[in-house]
Amino acid sequence: MSLLPWCIYLSLAGALLSLAAGRRSAGAARWIALATAAGSWGLTLLAAARFTPGPGMQTLVDIPWIPTMGVRYHLAADGISLTLVVLTGLVATSGVLFSWNIGERTGEFFGLFLALVAGVYGVFLSADVLLLFVFYEVAIVPKYFLIAIWGSTNREYAAMKLALYSFAGSAMVLAGLLWVYAAGGGHSFGFAELAQAAALLPRAQQIVIFGLVFFGFATLAGIFPLHTWAPTGHVAAPTAASMLLAGVVMKLGAYGCLRVALPLSPVGFAFWQTPIAWLALIGIVYAGLVALMREDLKFVIGYSSVSHMGFVLLGLAAADLRAVSGAVLQMFSHGVIAGLLFAVVGRMVYDRTHTRMLSDLRAMPLARLLPFAAVVFVIAGMASMGLPGFSGFPAELSILIGSWTVAPGWVAVAAVGVLVAAAFTLRAIRLSFFGSGEGAASQESGKASDHALQFPPITLAEKAGALLLVGATVLVGLKPDLLLDWINPALQSPLFHAVLKGGAP
Amino acid sequence: MNPDYAGLFLALRPEAALVAGALLALALDLSLFRRSRAGVRLGAALWVGALAVLAAGFCAALGARGPAFGGVLMFDTLAVAARIGVLVLTLLTLGAARAAPPGRQPAEYVAMMLFAATGLVLMAAAQQLLLIFLALELASLSLYVISGFDRRRPESAEAALKYFVFGGMASAFLLFGFSLLYGVTGSIDLPQIAAGIAGQGSNPLLLVALVMVLVAFGFKVAAAPFHLWAPDVYQGAPAPSAALVASASKLAGFTLFARLLWVGLGTIHASHEVPWFAPGWFPAVAIVAAASLLLGNFAALAQSSVRRLLAYSAIAHSGALLLGVMAAGRSGLGPLFYYAATYGLATVGAFGAIAAAESGGRCESIADLAGLHRRSPLLAGCLTVFILSLAGIPPLAGFFGKFVVFSAALQGGLSWPLGWLAMLAIALGALALYYYLKVLKQVLVAAPVPGAAPIVVPRATALSLLVAAALLVWFGLNPGQLLGLF
């Protein structure tokens, strides 16, 4: 376990090294990035293998950091954080593989990429709220540059929008946290100490504080009216960055909601529970409907991410043990699936066809030209729809079951969302990969265009990355207990007891 | 009072070292380097100046503690830390000055900088109205001169004139306020003024004096609505001069301001009905802080010139620093000093980078920074650190500055106007990111304009930029190092 913090340091070291190496040779930067990303992932897996699940966070490092302010450098892990660091390692490693073709400013790309990854690891492992916040902001800055420098469609606008939304969210979080911290006398940023301080405040203040912190974090998780940064950002980002954004960074927001906001003030949560659930439901259905209408394939996936993150938020809002463990499982599942979808669309398809418009793609017989991509996209699509056998199924199911015990009405709306998700996924699969022949073109000209359209084959790096992600979603789909056995004990900790209800799942 | 001149000299060894260094730089320039090229003369003068500043720094670190010369000077933790901070910032400014064009009188330029530094270190320790005024004037007059030192550019003369006119008016206000204070309390020593005020209740004359002093300091630290000189001076002055005005002078100014308000005027009671306006100057300073935060951040959004942007950001930061001054009564001076010192490091670095960028071509508008990452990776990297620190992004020191000041301001909760100001400042921080990112977008994202040459950064400048960036990272990772002093 005590090895685990090294995934942060290793990623940071990798960031600096590939930044330095990139000035000489792009190849060296790539290999350094791959080695450190895979190495960090290996560390998380090693830690996971040695992990004994239990309630409460197991301390990894705990030293005073800013003694006068009571801030500690306190890293700790429980089943939830372990699930998410394993996810981070997986997505980061496959993200490096899918970025193998970045040729411009390669060293800087991987430097920023790994800095972002290090920040994400840090957030998941922090047991001191200020430390968590510091890592959270460290993760935001590289996103801006990854999108603005290496992005596509409208990148500068998208990057700025994403950065401003993120920072507006984190300003809300900071305001709420400082308020509680100061009210507690300014002694500690521990989760429990902040919760104690918050409990002493008047109810109205608790409601405002909870709102600030929860919605601040939820901005990054893509909660309904604050989600608009997500589709534009995902679309503009280079492949690996969209994979990280949708796969991991949106989880930072959800993780902050779960780890920081929920235990902070049960009183505040009681007030906000219903509004949050309805915003999540609106997000599920609305984003799904938008995904059904969009022409740009990456927008379809971007909105599908918002829709799927709605399930996570719904699970958190239900505050039922099963729903919350389902939400954590959904974070993992969606991280893998979104990574896979963006990899297929951004790297395998767009980098070869140079279009993401469904109307253009349907004119190409992509399933024949890129069979590997087609297979992966179908698998990812099925996983995304929540078919049994893939990780999305146990996750969404347990969110829905858990929410049913709280408010059946929510589940009815969410079920519509599941149908919409199936609809937009099938539409995307059909139009993108299996669209040829629908036009007026005859068989002859179809063959001719086959010859005209010769794409470079799928590279080994892409295949390796795709297999990693497909393997993960199938593995968790077939045996969700692998992760649930970590997650459920973690939810038994005294901090969560104050907000979560429901018996043992 | 029995004057102890030997003790006074011992206490003022840093000032003596600075003055000696200034005179030596002038003398060497007139004798040994008389016929050398301007670049060599500048280099020599800068070396002498740097050594003098280093010597002064050692004297300040190892020198006197506690009151000196019958309480005229006060070497408490804040004073010593601020004196060392001012000297570090001056040293970094001298390094940045290596990149600026030497001009016709390089030694005089360096000498004036050292005189300004002398005034600033005196300001940090002064505890008597007369000395406060003299130190402030020494620093201000030297700063006016170096603002107008670039004779080839009319903007520089304009900057100096504006700075001088506004500054002179501020000095007049200050003197008037001081004379009223003396008239009311019969003393010019801050602790005795406080004692004299304590029994007075709300004396209207005292309030007039208070307003005069606040107006004057508002001018000096560029707080809205007394900020009008700042954008022009930051834009027109030679970059190293602007660096000194924006960093060391800010640090010394806020140190003095905090001392004057808390030690000297902390016992003024304006109103007995409203308990949270404990010292009478609270409402006025709170209004100035709010105005600075709002005006600085919103005006900065619209700027297209890098230096004007930094000027408006400086006004916004002044607002945050005023929060630190107000919160000092509850949480001590640590947060204020940390914020001011790290803010100084970031601005001195930013102006140093601008000075270096100007040596390789135009650097007027933000767009002139386009492609800096190609033209000079070193400058781009350092400037990124400075701007991100100004924006308050962790793990850089700028974030912790905000964190400590705002959490100090929130200590009283929201029933205190200070808490609301902190909330306002946090909200505006998210807005501020927009204009900081606008700069970084040019630096790191945009491609260089065709024909833009690589920038050669002189070694001394590169070193001081790297040191400033390293200090920002170091104090960000170890905020306790500065905060633990207090």
Give per-residue pLDDT as tens, B68-109: 888 888 888 889 999 999 999 999 999 999 888 877 888 899
Q: Tens digit of pLDDT for each residue in A259-272?
A: 898 888 888 888 89
pLDDT of residue A319 exceeding 80: yes
A470 vs A499, more confident: A470
Where residue A441 falls among pLDDT bands split at 50, 70, 90? very low
Q: Do B414 and A205 touch (CB under 8 A)?
A: yes
Where residue A122 falls among pLDDT bands split at 50, 70, 90? very high
Residue A377, pLDDT score: 86
Out of A56-60, A287-291, B365-369, B431-435, least confident range: A56-60
Which residue among B411, B433, B480 places its CB closest to the CB of A186?
Answer: B411
Where residue B342 falls among pLDDT bands split at 50, 70, 90? very high
Residue of A nearest to B429 (CA): A171
DSSP letter string, B70-103 = TTTEEE-HHHHHHHHHHHHHHHHHHHHHTTS---
Chain A contact for B434 (CB, 8 A cutoff): yes
Neighbours of A430 (CB within 10 A): 14
Residue B174, pLDDT score: 92
A186 interaction partners in chain B (CB closer than 8 Å)? 331, 407, 411
Q: Do A160 and B404 touch (CB under 8 A)?
A: no
Tell me which residues of chain A, numbers 118 to 137, contact chain B at a CB-CB cutoff of 8 Å.
130, 133-134, 137
pTM for the structure as a whole:
0.91
A141 interaction partners in chain B (CB closer than 8 Å)? 388, 393
Alpha helices in A222-370 (DSSP H): 229-236, 239-244, 250-256, 262-264, 266-293, 297-318, 321-342, 351-353, 358-361, 366-369
Percent of chain A residues past pLDDT 70, beyond the cut: 95
Chain A contact for B420 (CB, 8 A cutoff): no
Q: What are phi and psi of A254, to 5 degrees?
A: -65, -40
Q: Do B437 and A144 touch (CB under 8 A)?
A: yes
Tokens of A481: 């207990």
Candidates B331, B396, B407, partner chain A, best to mutate (most A CBs within 10 A): B407
Q: How many CB pairs under 8 A join A and B?
A: 90
Residue of A nearest to B393 (CA): A137
What is the pLDDT averaged over residues A290-302? 85
In sequence order, the β-bridge partners of residue B244 are: none
**Cα(B396)–Cα(B389) distance, integer angstroms:** 5
Which residue among A144, A163, A178 places its CB closest to the CB of B407?
Answer: A178
Chain A contact for B445 (CB, 8 A cutoff): yes
Q: From the CA of A64, how many Å to the nearest CA of chain B?
A: 10
> Using an 8 Å Cβ cutoff, are A298 and A234 in contact?
yes
Tokens of A149: 């420098």
Chain B contact for A200 (CB, 8 A cutoff): no
Chain A contact for B14 (CB, 8 A cutoff): no
Chain B contact for A68 (CB, 8 A cutoff): yes
Residue A270, pLDDT score: 87
**Cα(A306)–Cα(A284) distance, integer angstroms:** 7
A205 interaction partners in chain B (CB closer than 8 Å)? 414
pLDDT of residue A218 exceeding 80: yes
B394 interaction partners in chain A (CB closer than 8 Å)? 133-134, 137-138
DSSP letter string, A109-149 = HHHHHHHHHHHHHHHHHB-BHHHHHHHHHHHHHHHHHHHHH
Residue A425, pLDDT score: 87
Where residue B271 falls among pLDDT bands split at 50, 70, 90? very low
Tokens of A474: 């199938």
What is the pLDDT averaged over residues B313-331? 89
Residue of A nearest to B377 (CA): A23
Q: What are phi and psi of B252, to 5 degrees?
A: -65, -40
pLDDT of residue A362 exceeding 70: yes
Where residue B140 falls among pLDDT bands split at 50, 70, 90? very high
pLDDT of residue B53 exceeding 80: yes
Chain A contact for B423 (CB, 8 A cutoff): yes
Chain A contact for B367 (CB, 8 A cutoff): no
Residue B2, pLDDT score: 63
A148 interaction partners in chain B (CB closer than 8 Å)? 441, 445
Q: Do A164 and B444 touch (CB under 8 A)?
A: no
Tell me which residues of chain A, numbers 446 to 465, contact chain B at a CB-CB cutoff of 8 Å.
none
Phi-psi region of A56 (alpha: psi -120 to 50; beta: other; left: phi over 0): left
Candidates B386, B390, B433, partner chain A, best to mutate (most A CBs within 10 A): B433
Out of A182-191, A429-438, B375-384, least confident range: A429-438
Cα A288 to the chain's mean position, in Å?
17
B293 interaction partners in chain A (CB closer than 8 Å)? none
What is the pLDDT averaged over residues A416-427? 88
Residue A504, pLDDT score: 39
B167 vs A429, more confident: B167
Which residue among B331, B394, B441 places its CB closest to the CB of A138?
Answer: B394
Residue B91, pLDDT score: 94
**Cα(A127)–Cα(A131) distance, integer angstroms:** 8
Phi-psi region of A475 (alpha: psi -120 to 50; beta: other; left: phi over 0): alpha
Percent of chain B residues past pLDDT 90, beyond the cut: 47
> Using an 8 Å Cβ cutoff, are B234 and B156 in contact?
no
In sequence order, the β-bridge partners of residue B124 are: none
> Using an 8 Å Cβ cutoff, are B100 and B240 in contact?
yes
Out of A54-58, A451-455, B26-30, least confident range: A451-455
Q: From the CA of B393, how many Å to the nearest CA of chain A?
A: 7
What is the pLDDT averaged over residues B460-464? 91
B410 interaction partners in chain A (CB closer than 8 Å)? 178-179, 181-183
> Using an 8 Å Cβ cutoff, are A1 and A47 in contact?
yes
Tell me which residues of chain A, numbers 201 to 230, contact chain B at a CB-CB cutoff of 8 Å.
205
- Provide the pairing of β-strand B66-68 with A58-66: unpaired
Maximal C-alpha separation, chain A: 79
3-class DSSP assignment, residue B189: strand
Residue A444, pLDDT score: 44
Out of A336-340, A447-451, B200-204, B322-326, least confident range: A447-451
Where residue B336 falls among pLDDT bands split at 50, 70, 90? very high
- CA R_g for chain A: 22
Residue A1, pLDDT score: 52
Residue B1, pLDDT score: 53
> Using an 8 Å Cβ cutoff, are B398 and B469 in contact?
no
Q: What is the 3-state secondary structure (H, E, C) of A354-385?
A: CCCEHHHHCCCCHHHHCHHHHHHHHHHHHHHH
Chain A contact for B21 (CB, 8 A cutoff): no
Where residue B273 falls among pLDDT bands split at 50, 70, 90? very low
Question: What does the mean pLDDT of chain B come to?
Answer: 88
Tokens of B72: 């005229």
Q: What is the ipTM of this complex?
A: 0.90
Phi-psi region of A149 (alpha: psi -120 to 50; beta: other; left: phi over 0): alpha
pLDDT of residue A149 exceeding 90: no
B486 interaction partners in chain A (CB closer than 8 Å)? 68
Residue B93: partners with Cβ closer than 8 Å, 6 or more residues away: B113, B240, B243, B244, B247, B248, B348, B352, B464
